[in-house]
Amino acid sequence: MDLKINDQFYSSQAEPSDMLLWVIRDELGLTGTKFGCGAGICGACTIHVDGVAMRSCVTPAAAAEGKAITTVEGLATTQDDSERLHPVQEAFIEAQVPQCAWCMNGQMMTALAFLQANPKPSDDEITAAMGNNYCRCGCYVRIKVAVARAAELMEQANG
Amino acid sequence: MAKENPAKEQAAKDKRRWRVSRRGFLIGLGVVGGGLALGWRFGLPAARLGIANGLEEGGAPGGAEVSPDLWFEVNPDNTVSLYLMKVEMGQGVHTALAQLAAEELELPFENLQVIPASTARGIEDGFGTGGSTTISSLFTPLREGAATLRLMLQAKAAEKWSVEPDNLVAMNGSFFKQANPEETMTYAEAAQGVSDWEIPKDKPELKGIREFAVIGQPMQRVDFTEKLTGRAVYGYDARVDGMLYGAVARPPRFTATLKQASEGTARAVKGVVDVVIEDDFAGVVATSRGAAYRGLEALELDWDLGETYQQADIDALTQVRPGEGVVVQKEGRVAAKLKSATSIRAEYHSPMAAHAHLEPQAALVEVRSDRVIAQVSTQSPQLVRDEIAEALKRKKEDVEVTATYLGGGFGRRLNVEVAVEAARLSQAIGKPVHIGWNRSEEFRHGYVRPPTHSVLEAALDETGKIQAIRHELASGDVAFPFLPAFLSTIFGADFGAWRGGRFHYEGIENREVLSQRVKLPLKTGWWRGLGLLANTFAIESFMDELAHASGQDALEFRLRHLSASDHNQRLKRVLESAAEAAAWGTTLAEGRAHGIACSTDTKTVCAQVAEVSIEESKVRVHKITTAIDPGLIVNPDGVKAQTQGAIVFGLSSTFFEKLTIQDSQFAPQNFDTYPLITMKETPEIEVILRQSGEEPFGMGEPPLGPVAAAVANAVFALTGQRLRSLPLTLS
Ligand code: FES
Ligand code: FES
């Protein structure tokens, strides 16, 4: 089947019932999307399908056919030959959020989909939206700061 | 920010050969463009150092058979690479180490790149990365090496300019003449074309702490762009052309052994490439992970199930047997004092727990005829190399292990199983094999944090001062399973089990701690902080009980048992700082209360005040105020991050984590039955940094110590309920 990931087309040998996570990581080699539980609990594998945050470890490939998938590799853009990070990535660096960073794909992809739907969230709304993503290193205090900051940066970027 | 880790491009570099030189330094031979590579070893036994010095005289032709523990290379673009075998697992060591080196090199921080070495580069580091020791153990040697490198470059720059080295000044990666600051020579230019390097005779003089310009600054982590764009490679992400995926048969119980295995219908499963059955080992190799696991299910496996154990058996074994422990602290005369007074006594328990590092263990191994190449999420690359060599009966030199980035370590990756598994499969089928465990394998087939039981007893005098105090602890093994058996006889007690279990209150004249070994039918071992969390929970809860029993303020009670020693004064300072910042002793909002606790670990002292309330009959933590003194601070923001993270990690144990067994098997298979803390339960955390002395102590584990006790003590202050078991549950 054909999959559109970060505006590029990939042809995959996967069965429609194969979980997207393994198609994206193992077959197509985009390893920025991480595996933590395989059961939809930890959030490490979060991707966007048509802009909606999905847990790719429990999402069959068939569910993304004909749709636009975004992974963490698709967040930054290139301008004048240099990389421009996405405001969410910038905010996570500014707040020096990660430790091991294994969960951070999921944190950022979850945050981005949330902020697109709710550009000016309250603190409690951030906690509710981010409250189902595990970070074993315990970066929650900084994740919260970064998500609030990302909201500001995204607003500025959108002028 | 320093450059991104160019490990991949570097991986092609040949194994360097070294000439032994003065003061144990090694000069790299054959550096491209006549640059300079300078390496060194530390902790060499005297005899071997002697040999090294002897070689220097003789000038071992073509480089001696020695290799450095770490080394610098001056690159043509005037950056300097620092190669070392310390693993970045989230703790930020590559950033802090870069700070140490840049300081004495007089090099801009961003021109220093830390490159995690592979065992192929000849680096030896038998200890691995753990125990909160990286920065403290490298603090002096790394700066000395950096200063030596700078002086060597300075000597060559002076030669090229025909002036005395003393007339030059090093700044920002260049030298200039004092007399003529306009003219500069970069380090790379100084190194250009030189081959007769000489190590200075004397140890260089190092900067005093007041001269530090890089150390002590809140540097940004060097690994974040790579990590946040998805480019960083962890063990689970390692790839190579032609690789296949492996899965290994797991016993249905931790007591089970494989009696017999046959292929069954495994080969007929779509995607299965091969089936490997050897002695006690059965695995499947396939074109995808899914196919490999489906292949496993089609094997015919006959297990001897072994004995049946239940959680009640583990609980029954985890009991202090009075008077049987090995003494690990003894000051004064405890027994006599406790006998002659009415004493107070209490018992505390902590359960088994999982590491739950979010990246399950993973390895990619390629067994070739000439060598074995492995990329592994490990805290101990050298150990992995030795294990693979032994399993495959290959020479150690033919096995190259690179530690990738790790998705968390927490002690679990000091000893990983997956590398040998992948090596066995790769050896059998002649192709590179990647194995990444799934979450169920992580929960059920590793070693876990041991369960503990603590019994504390103390006698107070008529003024409410502690006359004598005793802590008897019983714990499953922590360090012993990984040490040669004779060492457990020498040590007597498992140092991992009693970590944090001794009394640091030097104002108590009579104190005694006994540690006893609980032999369990399952594997226990390293876990972040080792015994620190469980022992601090017991001791600091008990201190609180004593204060309340005698009507004393919990802070004052702790302070009055401190001595005038330097350590105890540091402890006093963090206790007072945390208390002051939290407004200890003032009236809180209705329904809220404070609790306090402190700990010492690797000489780092830490105090925490928890503010709690009860909501819907559950404990809610609103704020943790913490003051920490890790000696000299290298990267303040890194210290803050570690403190915040360790507190959250500790709160997860305080409220959620409890691993149980049923029918000789760990009960949980995934996070649905073993939940971790989330942002929803994470309180506000205020971190106050206190600095002291001229050397750094540990940071990765110490702030984990006090949190459970601080919360339990606050719960008591609020409800009168004393919770003596982790995780805390209100009755
Ligand atoms: S790996 Fe998908 S939610 Fe955990
Ligand atoms: S940074 Fe390690 S799991 Fe989140």
pLDDT tens by residue, B574-632: 999 999 999 999 999 999 999 999 999 989 999 999 999 999 999 999 999 999 999 99
Q: How far apart are CA B514 and CA B639, in angstroms?
A: 32
Please name the residue ranges forming H helices in B298-437: 311-317, 334-340, 381-392, 418-429
Residues 6+ apart with CB under 8 A from B24: B40, B41, B42, B44, B49, B52, B53
* Single-letter code of the amino acid located at B663: D
- The finding on whether A132 has its CB within 6 A of some atom of ligand 1 is no
- Band (pLDDT 50/70/90 cuts) for residue B139 is confident
Split into its structural domains, chain A has a count of: 2
**Ligand 2 centroid distance, CA of A119 (Å):** 25
Q: Give the number of the ligand closest to the Cα of residue B645.
A: 2
Q: Are residues B281 and B387 in the same domain?
A: yes
Q: Are residues B268 and B367 in the same domain?
A: yes
CB contact (8 A) between residue B228 and residue A72: yes
* Single-letter code of the amino acid located at B115: I
CA distance A159 to chain B (A): 24
Q: Give the number of the ligand closest to the Cα of residue B224.
A: 2
Using a CB-CB distance cutoff of 8 angstroms, which residues of chain A are in contact with residue B637? 96
Q: How far apart are CA B571 and CA B132, in angstroms?
A: 19
Q: Which position has the higher pLDDT, B279 or B514?
A: B514
Asked whether B255 and B666 are in contact (CB, 8 A), the reply is no
Q: How far apart are CA A11 and CA A3, in angstroms?
A: 6
Asked whether A127 and B679 are in contact (CB, 8 A), the reply is yes
Residues 6+ apart with CB under 8 A from B100: B135, B138, B139, B142, B143, B146, B215, B634
Q: How far apart are CA A106 and CA A132, in angstroms?
A: 10
Residues 6+ apart with CB under 8 A from B277: B261, B262, B263
Q: How far apart are CA B72 and CA B84, in angstroms?
A: 9
End-of-domain residue from the set A74, A89, A118: A74
> Looking at residue B60, what is its pLDDT?
31
- Any CB–CB contact under 8 A between B684 and chain A? yes
Q: Are residues B413 and B479 in the same domain?
A: no
Give B631-678 pLDDT, tens digit per residue.
Answer: 999 999 999 999 999 999 999 999 999 999 999 999 999 999 999 999
Q: How far apart are CA B557 and CA B541, in angstroms?
A: 13
Res. B725: pLDDT tops 50: yes
Using a CB-CB distance cutoff of 8 angstroms, which residues of chain A are in contact with residue B231? 32
Give B342-364 pLDDT, tens digit per residue.
Answer: 899 999 999 999 999 999 999 99
* Single-letter code of the amino acid located at B655: F
Res. B236: pLDDT tops 60: yes
The DSSP H or E segment spanning B614 is: strand B604-615
Q: Which residues are bridge partners to B115 per DSSP?
A: B83
Compute chain B's Rg from CA coordinates: 28
> Closest Cα partner for B329 from B451, B509, B480, B461?
B509
> Looking at residue B68, what is its pLDDT?
64
Q: How far apart are CA A45 and CA B695, in angstroms?
A: 41
Res. A87: pLDDT tops 90: yes
For chain B, give the mean pLDDT: 88
Q: Are residues B429 and B532 in the same domain?
A: no
- Band (pLDDT 50/70/90 cuts) for residue B54 is very low
ipTM of this model?
A: 0.97
Q: What is the CATH number of the domain that holds A28?
A: 3.10.20.30
**Ligand 2 centroid distance, CA of B27 (Å):** 39
- The finding on whether A55 has its CB within 6 A of some atom of ligand 1 is yes
Local structure of residue B266 (DSSP, 8 states): G
Choose, out of A45, A84, A102, the residue to mutate when testing the contact with B (most B CBs < 10 Å): A102
**Ligand 2 centroid distance, CA of B118 (Å):** 24
Q: Give the number of the ligand closest to the Cα of residue A107.
A: 2
Q: What is the CATH number of the domain that holds A123?
A: 1.10.150.120
Q: Are residues A147 and A81 in the same domain?
A: yes
- Any CB–CB contact under 8 A between B646 and chain A? yes
Using a CB-CB distance cutoff of 8 angstroms, which residues of chain B are in contact with residue A27? 288
Find the residue in B nearest to A137 (Cα): B645
Residues 6+ apart with CB under 8 A from B693: B631, B632
Q: Which residues are bridge partners to B113 per DSSP?
A: B81
- The finding on whether B408 has its CB within 6 A of some atom of ligand 2 is yes
End-of-domain residue from the set A74, A90, A116: A74
Q: How far apart are CA B99 and CA B108, in angstroms?
A: 10
Contacts 24+ apart (CB under 8 A), A12-19: A12/A61, A14/A61, A15/A61, A16/A60, A16/A61, A16/A62, A16/A65, A17/A60, A17/A61, A17/A62, A18/A60, A18/A61, A18/B288, A18/B290, A19/A56, A19/A57, A19/A58, A19/A59, A19/A60, A19/A61
Q: Which of A55, A59, A71, A132 to mutate to test the pocket of ligand 1 (most atoms within 8 A of CB)?
A: A55
Q: At residue B29, what are phi and psi to the nearest 5 degrees?
A: -100, 150
- Any CB–CB contact under 8 A between B673 and chain A? no
Using a CB-CB distance cutoff of 8 angstroms, which residues of chain B are in contact with residue A101? 90, 223-224, 227-228, 232, 405, 407
> Looking at residue B511, what is its pLDDT?
97
Residues 6+ apart with CB under 8 A from B456: B345, B346, B347, B348, B469, B470, B471, B472, B538, B539, B542
Residue B387 placed within a domain: yes
Q: Which residues are bridge partners to B666 per DSSP?
A: B661
Split into its structural domains, chain B has a count of: 3
Helix axes A140-157, B636-655, angle to 10 degrees: 120
Q: Which position has the higher pLDDT, B70 or B72?
A: B72
Is B612 exposed, middle or buried, given 0-12, 13-18 or 19+ CB atoms closer than 10 A?
Answer: buried
Q: How far apart are CA B226 and CA A32, in angstroms?
A: 10
- The finding on whether A36 has its CB within 6 A of some atom of ligand 1 is yes
End-of-domain residue from the set A47, A74, A101: A74
Using a CB-CB distance cutoff of 8 angstroms, which residues of chain B are in contact with residue A128? 680
Please tell me the number of Cα atoms within 13 Å of B614 on its side-chain side: 17
Q: Are residues A154 and A96 in the same domain?
A: yes
Tell me what the mean pLDDT of segment B168-173 comes to. Answer: 94
End-of-domain residue from the set B436, B456, B476: B436
The DSSP H or E segment spanning B100 is: helix B93-105
Residues 6+ apart with CB under 8 A from B46: none
Q: Are residues A94 and A57 in the same domain?
A: no
- The finding on whether A139 has its CB within 6 A of some atom of ligand 2 is yes
The DSSP H or E segment spanning B606 is: strand B604-615
Res. B561: pLDDT tops 60: yes
What is the SS3 assignment for A1?
A: coil
- The finding on whether A134 has its CB within 6 A of some atom of ligand 1 is no
- Band (pLDDT 50/70/90 cuts) for residue B64 is very low
Q: What is the CATH number of the domain that holds B384?
A: 3.30.365.10
Find the residue in A nearest to B90 (Cα): A100
Q: Which residue has the tokens 């550096």?
A: B31
Q: Are residues A106 and A133 in the same domain?
A: yes
> Looking at residue B58, what is its pLDDT?
29
Choose, out of B355, B644, B679, B682, the residue to mutate when testing the contact with A (most A CBs < 10 Å): B679
Q: Cis ω on the peptide bond leading into residue B116 (within 30° of 0)?
A: no
Q: Are residues B208 and B276 in the same domain?
A: no
**Domain span holding position B713:** 318-352+448-719
Q: Are residues B142 and B21 in the same domain?
A: yes
Give B409-461 pLDDT, tens digit per residue.
Answer: 898 998 999 999 999 999 999 999 999 999 999 999 999 999 999 999 999 99
Asked whether B498 and B535 are in contact (CB, 8 A), the reply is yes
Q: Are residues A101 and A128 in the same domain?
A: yes
Q: Are residues B241 and B178 in the same domain?
A: no
Res. B13: pLDDT tops 60: no
**Ligand 1 centroid distance, CA of A37 (Å):** 5
Residue B725 placed within a domain: no
Q: Are residues A53 and A96 in the same domain?
A: no
Is B110 exposed, middle or buried, given 0-12, 13-18 or 19+ CB atoms closer than 10 A?
Answer: middle
Q: How far apart are CA B679 and CA B72, in angstroms?
A: 41
φ/ψ bin of B703: left (φ > 0), alpha (ψ from -120 to 50), beta (otherwise): alpha
* Three-state SS sequence of B22-88: HHHEEEEECCHHHCEEEEECCCCCHHHHHHHHHHHHHCCCCCECCCCCEEEEECCCCCEEEEECCCC
Least confident residue range of A9-13, A131-135, B491-495, B633-637: B491-495
Q: Are residues A118 and A63 in the same domain?
A: no
Is A40 exposed, middle or buried, given 0-12, 13-18 or 19+ CB atoms closer than 10 A?
Answer: middle
- Interface contacts (A, B; CB < 8 Å): 170
**Domain span holding position A35:** 2-74
Q: How far apart are CA B398 and CA B420, in angstroms?
A: 15
Q: Which residue has the tokens 């495959």?
A: B392
> Looking at residue B401, what is its pLDDT?
92
Residue B443 placed within a domain: no
End-of-domain residue from the set B436, B466, B499: B436
End-of-domain residue from the set B436, B456, B490: B436
Q: How far apart are CA B298 and CA B282, in angstroms?
A: 12
